[in-house]
């Protein structure tokens, strides 16, 4: 199997996982965004929502990194800039969800 | 080293169709969504600073600009969800006829606006 096919399969699987998680998150975001501190903390410390939120951000970053790298492929001509942009993208796709999960676990 | 592969044609060359509008909007909302999720991660992490420091964030989110941003993110997420479902259906081999692509494209555009309103009403317990 060539890399492009693997990438397409990963995109489709992560996209399918992301759809229900995104629907769940949008509804909760609208419910809590303007709530008091205690209610927001309760949401992020609740074990089910903490678990779903963690999965949501991991899959969202994975999906976005794959799809944004396609945008780079289409519109960036210089290989050096494209590689640097891809490295930065993949590094942030690992770092941001990991740091967030560690921090919300300390709440 | 310069890449010899052809790049995507510039979007202004082609005449706009519903499907091209949905396609470029799918990419734009994808980028907006990852910015939104990054800000949401930052928001969740800032909770660690405690209740007294959260007041500033809370007053910003409760303001008109804050509500507008959340509504914008909701639309962007809704658009991505519907557009992703449209892609899944196309991946299964359906909906490639010109008329069907127009209808499904319009469903994504108007559906995302309706979904945003519905989400807001449900989230705020109006429904």
Q: Which domain holds residue B85?
A: 18-123
Residues 6+ apart with CB under 8 A from B35: none
C-beta atoms of A26 and B119 within 8 A: yes
**Helix residue ranges per DSSP H, A46-78:** 47-75
Structural domain includes residue B7: no
**Helix, strand counts (H, E) of chain A:** 4, 0
Tokens 């169709």: give the residue: B17
Best residue in B41, B65, B76, B78 to probe A by mutation, most A CBs within 10 Å? B41
| CA torsion angle B80 A71 A55 A102 (round to 10) | -130
Q: What is the mean pLDDT of residues B35-52?
A: 94
Name beta bridge partners: A78: B2
Considering only CB atoms, B48 lies closest to which of A15, A18, A106, namely A106
Supply the DSSP symbol for B48. G
User: Is residue B52 packed enough to be buried (19+ CB in 10 Å), middle (13-18) or exposed (0-12)?
Assistant: exposed
| pLDDT of B2 | 57
Residue count of chain A, please give it. 107
Please state which CATH class domain A3-105 belongs to: mainly alpha
Instruction: In whole angstroms, give the CA distance from residue B36 to residue B119.
Output: 17
Give the pTM: 0.89
| pLDDT of A35 | 94
Q: How many domains does chain B have?
A: 1
Structural domain includes residue B1: no
Per-residue pLDDT of B66-121, as tens digits, reads 999 999 999 999 999 999 999 999 999 999 999 999 999 999 999 999 999 999 99
Name beta bridge partners: B2: A78
Please name the residue of chain B whose CA is at the shortest distance from the CA of residue A12: B88
| pLDDT of B126 | 84
Instruction: In whole angstroms, give the CA distance from residue B35 to residue B30.
Output: 9
Measured at the alpha carbon of residue B29, what is the angle toward residues A11 and A89, in degrees to the nearest 5? Answer: 55
How many other CB atoms are found less than 10 A from the CB of residue A7?
14
User: Is B114 an 8 Å CB contact of chain A?
Assistant: no
Please name the residue of chain B whose CA is at the shortest distance from the CA of residue A98: B41
Q: How far is B103 from chain A (nearest CA, A)?
A: 21
Does the structure show a pLDDT above 80 at B23?
yes
What ipTM, to 2 d.p.? Answer: 0.92
CATH number at residue B49: 1.20.1300.10
Per-residue pLDDT of B50-69, as tens digits, reads 998 899 999 999 999 999 99
């Amino acid at each position: 199997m060539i890399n492009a096919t693997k990438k397409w399969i990963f995109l489709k699987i992560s996209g399918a996982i992301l759809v229900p998680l995104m629907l769940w998150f949008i509804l909760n975001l609208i419910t809590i965004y303007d709530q008091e501190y205690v209610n927001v903390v309760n949401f992020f410390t609740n074990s089910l929502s903490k678990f779903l939120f963690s999965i949501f951000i991991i899959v969202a970053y994975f999906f976005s990194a794959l799809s944004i790298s396609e945008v780079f492929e289409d519109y960036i001509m210089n290989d050096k800039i494209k590689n640097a942009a891809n490295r930065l993208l993949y590094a942030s796709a690992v770092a941001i969800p990991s740091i967030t999960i560690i921090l919300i676990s300390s709440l | 080293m310069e890449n010899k592969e052809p790049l995507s044609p510039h979007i202004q060359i082609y005449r706009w169709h519903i499907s091209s509008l949905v396609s470029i909007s799918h990419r734009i909302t994808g980028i907006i969504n990852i910015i939104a999720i990054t800000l949401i991660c930052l928001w969740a992490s800032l909770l660690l600073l405690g209740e007294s420091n959260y007041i500033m964030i809370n007053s910003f989110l409760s303001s008109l600009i804050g509500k507008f941003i959340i509504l914008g993110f909701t639309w962007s997420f809704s658009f991505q969800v519907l557009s992703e479902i449209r892609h899944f259906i196309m991946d299964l081999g359906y909906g490639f006829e010109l008329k069907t692509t127009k209808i499904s494209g319009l469903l994504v555009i108007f559906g995302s606006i309706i979904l945003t309103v519905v989400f807001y009403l449900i989230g705020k317990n109006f429904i």
